[in-house]
Chains A and B, each alone.
Chain A
Amino acid sequence: MALNLNFLHEEIEQQRQRQRDPLKIGMMVLTMIGVGMFLYYMWNAYQTLEIKSRLNAAQADWAKVEPKVTAAKKRAAELNSIIGTTKVLNDMMESRFYWAPLLEQVAKCVAPNTQLTSLEGSVLDDKKGVSIVIEGTAAGREPRAAAEDLRQMLLEQLGQTYKDVKIEFKALEDLDTIVAVSGTNMAMARYSLVITLNPDTGKATAAPAPVRAVKTP
């Protein structure tokens, strides 16, 4: 049996100890982990750069579109304002009370034996209707009846066009004066009629002109 002498056992032992040096192993492991983390970081950084380039492209697209959008929004707001204003103006125009047709109808109702001395009309606030006061004189054997005829005629005529027509005598009194109508002497009465009506705004049309003049004293 050959004698095997190991004179380097101490050196070998030291080398083994160096090889299993925990710090060294730890450093190697740390280095490996570090490299892995670095690569992972680089991969993330690459992805981030790619996303940022997409963001830049999107922002460039938006920069191209934005002025047009701002202008479109401004124009839309302006158009909405115009539409709103025009609608209100149209409503106001359509809800106006046209006086000419009323004057025409009043003229039609005035018979030769009745005369108007004044007409005062006003549109009531908040579209509550129209109020008219007509004053005049009527002549006839029964002058009060002539005034009543005028009231009835007005009621009939105005009722065809307007809603809620009410005509009442505010005053009706006999006068001492005698007038000649068609060669006949007739008694006279003074009347004052109050007319209230509700204009039918849904049927507002262009106003025609009166066809006949009202006779005045």
Chain B
Amino acid sequence: MKFLKLNKDQTQKLFLSLIGFIALIYVYFTFFLGPLQRSRDNALKSIEETHEKIASSKTEMSKATRLEDQAKTATTQFAALRALSPEGAPIAWFPPRIKSFFANQQIDKVTARMETSSQPKEKELATWSTYNWVIQMPQADYSTLGKTVAALENSEPLLSVMKVSIHAAIEDPEFQQVTLTAAMLLEKR
């Protein structure tokens, strides 16, 4: 109990010590331990996030590998369909191609002209365009025409004949005047 009997000077010193202690605690937690703790917490959080990213990346990569296997058919088919659209403006290559095709089927004097072009409604076909063509045959035999249309429909999977107009030729009754309106999907290049 004698120890607690402090004189004024001692009381002041004790008070100062207490203030110093509080200041030390404050400085320690605010400027030393606190930032260290925060830095540690951040690092732990970053480690967790990085591990999660690595784990999800493995899933993503395996998904992509699986998708690659699954999409083999689609990829091959897509490449084949793309190959149907040669480089250059369609108006430059489509009419000669059609003319040559019909000539090979014994139908001559075929003309093909572009009527309109438009953007397909489907969002998946954003890089494709629909071209509407008018193919005119002033002289075609019905049977040959049928075979040719069949061959055309089979060889051009992206072409669909939207209108057919067959009229008996007045000058030559053995033949018909034919007009086909066809829509063809072509990739924009």
A47 is an interface residue with CB less than 8 A from chain B: yes
Looking at chain B's contact residues, the main secondary structure is: helix
Please tell me if the beta carbons of B24 and A69 are within 8 angstroms of each other in the complex: no
Residues of A99-131 whose CB lies within 8 A of B: 99-101, 103-104, 107, 116-123
Closest to A211 in B: B143
What is the interface size of chain A, counting residues whose CB is below 8 A from a CB of the partner? 74
CB distance from B171 to the nearest CB of A (A): 12
Please tell me if the beta carbons of B160 and A97 are within 8 angstroms of each other in the complex: yes
A175 is an interface residue with CB less than 8 A from chain B: no
Contacts of A178 in B (CB 8 A): none
Contacts of A86 in B (CB 8 A): 74, 77-78, 81
Please tell me if the beta carbons of A99 and B21 are within 8 angstroms of each other in the complex: no
Residues of A23-65 whose CB lies within 8 A of B: 23, 26-27, 30, 33-34, 37, 40-41, 44-45, 47-48, 51-52, 54-55, 58-59, 61-62, 65
9 pairs of A and B residues whose beta carbons are closest in the complex? A210-B146, A26-B17, A100-B150, A23-B13, A209-B147, A72-B64, A216-B168, A69-B57, A207-B150
Please tell me if the beta carbons of A34 and B24 are within 8 angstroms of each other in the complex: yes
Instruction: Give the A-B pair count, Cβ closer than 8 A.
Output: 218
Please tell me if the beta carbons of B161 and A217 are within 8 angstroms of each other in the complex: no
What is the interface size of chain B, counting residues whose CB is below 8 A from a CB of the partner? 76
Closest to B164 in A: A121
Please tell me if the beta carbons of A210 and B161 are within 8 angstroms of each other in the complex: no
Please tell me if the beta carbons of B21 and A62 are within 8 angstroms of each other in the complex: no
CB distance from B72 to the nearest CB of A (A): 10
A30 to B166, CA, bound (A): 109
Please tell me if the beta carbons of A22 and B166 are within 8 angstroms of each other in the complex: no
Residues of A80-99 whose CB lies within 8 A of B: 80-90, 92-93, 96-99
Q: Give 7 new A-B contacts, CB below 8 A, not counting A72-B61, A123-B161.
A: A23-B17, A55-B46, A58-B54, A62-B53, A65-B54, A69-B61, A216-B173
Closest to B3 in A: A20
Q: Mark B48-72, 1 if CB is under 8 A from A, else 0.
A: 0011011001101101110110110
A82 to B127, CA, bound (A): 11
A79 is an interface residue with CB less than 8 A from chain B: yes
B1 is an interface residue with CB less than 8 A from chain A: no
A179 is an interface residue with CB less than 8 A from chain B: no
Please tell me if the beta carbons of B168 and A100 are within 8 angstroms of each other in the complex: no
CB distance from A194 to the nearest CB of B (A): 15
Closest to B76 in A: A86
Please tell me if the beta carbons of B21 and A30 are within 8 angstroms of each other in the complex: yes
Given known contacts A79-B71, A99-B149, A207-B150, is B164 in contact with A51 (CB within 8 Å)? no
Contacts of B57 in A (CB 8 A): 62, 65-66, 68-69, 72
Please tell me if the beta carbons of A41 and B33 are within 8 angstroms of each other in the complex: yes
Please tell me if the beta carbons of B150 and A119 are within 8 angstroms of each other in the complex: no
A83 to B20, CA, bound (A): 73
Please tell me if the beta carbons of A23 and B14 are within 8 angstroms of each other in the complex: yes
